[in-house]
Amino acid sequence: MNSITEKIFKNKVALPQKFLLYGFIKQGESYVYKKNICDNQMEIRVVLDANGNVDAKVFEFDVNDYYTLYLDENAAGGFVGGVRAEYESVLCDIAEKCFDKKIFKSAITNALIDYVRNSYGDELEFLWKKFTDNAIWRRSDNKKWYAAVLTVSERKLGLDSDRIIEVVDLRMDPKAIQEITDGIKYFGGYHMNKKHWITIRLDGSVDIKEICRRLDDSYNLAK
């Protein structure tokens, strides 16, 4: 990535299922998008791999070669400025429509996000403007919540610590909640009905396979 693409796609995570809908064409393991700019004098060519790595270049038709002057921060003038502006506009639109913000820091949290996306096709919904690092998943058929990913202080879970951690709230059978809640890794549902919801740490203390299995159970309970 060059400095422009690094800035635009920083802290973004790719949504490959949206690439084709946007207009990318799959070529091998990559996705390619082309758009004419500067009154059809040039063409932006954007290549994304399945992990969302971005390679974006400007091709100049008259000289049959790539144009790079817009990447020079010291380059001035109306033409180069126009190329740079159109380049950034196209990439910002792709970032908005084919990527999501990478809000959460925990590797377990991001692995869970990938699992839900691949298993159910659901994306996190950020419902609270004041709490941008809290979000929920809901079923597409009946709109019922089946999970919430939250960023909280351990003290709010009843622990003697102000460390900030990420957790997931899941639906669970009341009897299973009573059996599993230990006040260390598993807690009564934070900001949820503690009889029907459980909170699980997403810091690696609980194996991702177990979390995914319990999330599947929560999804089914939300029918």
pTM score of the predicted model: 0.64
Instruction: Let me know: does 97 contact 89? Beta carbons within 8 Å.
Output: no
Of 70, 101, 132, the last residue of a domain is 101
Q: What is the pLDDT of residue 16?
A: 87
pLDDT tens for residues 34-88?
999 999 999 999 999 877 789 999 999 999 999 999 999 888 899 999 999 999 9
Residue 211: band (very low, low, confident or very high) from pLDDT cuts 50, 70, 90: very high
pLDDT tens for residues 133-192?
899 999 999 999 999 999 999 999 999 999 999 999 999 999 999 999 999 999 999 989
Expressed in percent and rounded to 5, the helix, strand and coil fractions of the chain are 35, 30, 35
Of 56, 86, 101, the last residue of a domain is 101
Domain identity same for 11 and 91: yes
User: Domain of 83?
Assistant: 3-101
Mean pLDDT within 201-206 = 95
Instruction: Let me know: does 191 contact 221? Beta carbons within 8 Å.
Output: no
Domain identity same for 120 and 33: no
Q: Rounded to 5 degrees, what angle do the CA atoms 7, 37, 4 make?
A: 10
Domain identity same for 130 and 207: yes
Tally of domains in the chain: 2
Residue 72 identity = D
Cα→Cα distances 135→50, 167, 202, 205, Å: 25, 11, 14, 21
Task: Provide CB contacts within 8 A for 92, sequence distance 6+.
Answer: 8
Domain identity same for 124 and 160: yes
Instruction: Let me know: does 221 contact 171? Beta carbons within 8 Å.
Output: yes
Q: Which residues pair with residue 13 across a beta bridge?
A: 100
